[in-house]
């Protein structure tokens, strides 16, 4: 029986997760702030000249003909957003087009948190001074701004620090908790309808979760002494999940980590995950993954100090039920919205060797909402995986200790559904938006597993695809900074250089 048959059999006996409608009268917001913040016209530095565009040598393997695209729908336009070393935020559309400044320079080392609206036309960004560079003499200032994706109409939505300001003392509570909550761990999140952006702020003398409209109306969603972090909207936009903790730690881990869900308008939590005890006997110290798989159901990946990613749970908001999906350490999770399947990469070989007192089984596992157990696709130690956007294929990487290490491609609904692609494992896997190609580290493959190209450069780091091609970083010749490139399917061109950070960079798609 093929792996595909096994999964179809498992899905056939699974009841769908119950649908949950959004209450017509959600709980009242806590201490709403309905004033429209002043919107000063900021002093903006003119966009700098476009960086030099250098053509890279042709890929070592010339592109070959590709199979027909799995989808005939036209692909939306896209642009790429990335941080600069001076603390600014930049947009590029590709070679020959001048870059667009989305946020002015702030201070060296700043990496502004940002998020694009669902239609890609507005950027929310947190920027300021004195919060990233701890040796800075500048008075700490921090605020949430909105700006058009074309760089126009920048306006401040909300100051994030209390009116009296803060003093960031090295080793102090503000340095360990307030600073990361508002900067490095700040995760902005737009609601699916683009009407609200969620963020964390301390402007009312307590770190809490807020939501703001594009017009600047701010509503408080939580009112607790705990620190909130990482908001995630439900698919219908009726709820928002977030992590909670009493402290981000000084090296000993987070304190009293938890997960809560509140209604769109705030109020008392609809769900609180307070049980930190794992099946392994340890306690969860962080929650690295929170994935909505329906309007009422979340998947949470739990982490502990001993092993790392150590358990996967399904959480039902309306009933408060919690079910363990996977009681072993896991390497990666990926949700397939198109087919309603969760792919789980099980324990790595290094984890198995470390946890000698536990009976662990590596492999690739599939779970569907309502299923009592997972279905194993392969017993080899899988470390990385990625679904295509259309959900019809999964690429995964097996460690060298497996029976057949390297890359494999699982095509759903295809006879002989698993195909070995390469003998070399890869930790970076990324599909093109049309599902016709994927990249594994520095090698590009077609949808049917044929090698198309090998990108040149040191430490190739793929970041995002757009209709214009693949955006990726390489390590510069100085061994310290990075260069940004675009591969258009035939050659690579340099878009920028002298970049010191690669996080918080992404391709953004636009829609009418």
For residue 437, give both structure tokens. 């190609």
State the CB neighbour count (10 A cutoff) for residue 456. 16
Render pLDDT for 228-276 as a digit per residue (tens, 0 to 9). 999 999 999 999 999 999 988 766 678 889 999 999 999 999 999 989 9
Average pLDDT, the chain: 85
Secondary structure string (H, E, C) spanning 351-402: HHHHCCCCCCCCCEEEECCCCCCCEEEECCCEEEEEECCCCCEEEEEECCCC
Closest CA relative to residue 399, chosen from 438, 375, 427, 360: 427
Query: Does the pTM exceed 0.75?
Result: yes
10 vs 17, 103, 325, 356, 375, CA distance in Å?
Answer: 15, 49, 14, 31, 7
Measured between alpha carbons, how far is 293 from 78 in angstroms, rounded to an integer? Answer: 26
Tokens (6 digits) for 124: 């929310």
Bridge partners, 507 (sequence order):
80
pLDDT of residue 74: 59
Nearest to 196 by CA among 436, 26, 382: 26
The Cα–Cα gap between 44 and 433 comes to 34
User: Would you place residue 29 in the very low, low, confident or very high pLDDT band (cuts 50, 70, 90)?
Assistant: very low
Q: Is the pLDDT of residue 90 over 70?
A: yes
Element (H, E) at 4: helix 3-12
| CA-closest candidate to residue 81, choices 484, 395, 412 | 484
Question: Considering the chain, what percentage of its residues have pLDDT values greater than 90?
Answer: 72
Q: Could you tell me the maximum CA-CA distance found in the chain, to the nearest angstrom?
A: 67
- The pLDDT of residue 415 is 61
pLDDT of 9 reads 36
DSSP 55: B
Q: What is the arithmetic mean of pLDDT over 496-500?
A: 96
Residue 366 — pLDDT band, cuts 50, 70, 90?
very high
> Would you state the pLDDT for residue 65?
35
Q: What are phi and psi of 456, to 5 degrees?
A: -90, 160
| Contact (CB, 8 A) for 196 and 264 | yes
pLDDT at residue 170, as a whole number: 74
Count CB-CB contacts under 10 A for residue 58.
13
- Alpha-carbon distance of 331 to 384, in angstroms, equals 7
Least confident segment among 132-141, 159-168, 200-209: 132-141
Task: Give residue 167's pLDDT.
Answer: 82
Q: Which helix (H) or strand (E) holds 354?
A: helix 349-354
Q: What is the residue-wise DSSP string for 113-173?
A: -EEE-TTSSEEEEEEEESSS-TT--SPPEEEEEEEETTS---EEEEE-S-TT-----TTSH
Average pLDDT for residues 102-129, to the nearest whole number?
96
| pLDDT reported for residue 126 | 98
Report CA 22 to chain centroid distance, whole Å.
Answer: 25
Q: Across-strand partners of 312?
A: 301, 326
Whole-number pLDDT of residue 135: 60
Q: What is the CA radius of gyration of the chain?
A: 23
Q: What are phi and psi of 3, to 5 degrees?
A: -60, -35
- Residue 477 CB neighbour total at 10 angstroms: 10
With 80 as the cut, is the pLDDT of residue 12 above it?
Answer: no
């Amino acid at each position: 029986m093929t792996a595909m048959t096994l999964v179809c059999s498992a899905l056939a006996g699974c009841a769908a997760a119950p649908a949950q409608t959004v209450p017509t009268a959600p709980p009242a917001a806590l201490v709403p702030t309905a004033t429209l913040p002043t919107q000063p016209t900021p002093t903006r530095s003119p966009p700098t000249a476009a960086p030099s565009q250098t053509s890279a040598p042709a890929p070592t393997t010339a592109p070959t003909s590709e199979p027909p695209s799995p989808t005939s729908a036209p692909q939306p336009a896209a642009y790429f957003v990335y941080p600069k070393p001076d603390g600014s935020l930049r947009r590029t559309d590709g070679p020959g087009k001048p870059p667009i400044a989305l946020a002015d320079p702030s201070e060296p080392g700043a990496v502004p948190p940002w998020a694009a609206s669902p239609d890609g036309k507005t950027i929310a960004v947190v920027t300021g001074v004195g919060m990233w560079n701890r040796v800075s003499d500048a008075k700490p200032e921090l605020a949430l701004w909105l700006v058009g994706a074309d760089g126009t109409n920048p306006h401040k939505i909300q100051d994030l620090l209390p009116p009296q300001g803060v003093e960031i003392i090295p080793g102090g509570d503000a340095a360990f908790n307030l600073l990361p909550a508002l900067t490095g761990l700040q995760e902005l999140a737009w609601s699916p309808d683009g009407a609200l952006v969620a963020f964390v702020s301390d402007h009312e003398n307590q770190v809490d979760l807020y939501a703001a409209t594009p017009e600047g109306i701010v509503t408080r969603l939580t009112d607790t002494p705990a620190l909130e972090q990482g908001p995630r909207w439900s698919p219908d936009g009726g709820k928002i999940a977030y992590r909670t903790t009493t402290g981000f730690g000084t090296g000993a881990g987070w304190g009293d980590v938890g997960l809560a869900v509140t209604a769109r308008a705030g109020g008392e939590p609809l769900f609180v995950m307070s049980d930190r005890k794992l099946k392994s006997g340890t306690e969860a110290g962080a929650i690295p993954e929170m994935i909505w798989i329906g309007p009422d159901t979340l998947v949470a990946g739990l982490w502990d100090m001993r092993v790392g990613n150590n358990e996967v749970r399904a959480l039902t908001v309306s009933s408060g039920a919690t079910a363990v999906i996977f009681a072993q350490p896991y390497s990666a999770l990926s949700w397939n919205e198109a087919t309603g399947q969760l792919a789980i990469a099980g324990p790595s070989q290094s984890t198995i060797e470390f946890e000698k007192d536990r009976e662990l089984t590596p492999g690739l596992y599939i779970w569907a909402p309502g299923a009592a157990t997972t279905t194993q696709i392969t017993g080899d130690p899988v470390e990385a995986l990625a679904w295509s956007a259309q959900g019809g294929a999964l690429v995964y990487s097996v460690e060298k200790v497996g029976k057949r290490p390297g890359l494999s491609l699982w095509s759903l609904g295809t006879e002989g559904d698993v195909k070995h692609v390469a003998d070399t494992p890869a930790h970076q896997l990324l599909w093109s938006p049309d599902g016709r190609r994927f990249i594994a580290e520095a090698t590009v493959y077609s949808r049917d597993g044929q090698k198309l190209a090998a990108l040149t450069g040191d430490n190739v780091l793929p970041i995002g695809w757009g209709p214009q091609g693949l955006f990726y970083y390489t390590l510069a010749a100085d061994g310290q900074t990075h260069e940004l490139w675009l591969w258009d399917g035939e050659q690579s061109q340099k878009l920028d250089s002298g970049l010191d950070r690669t996080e918080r960079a992404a391709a953004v798609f636009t829609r009418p």
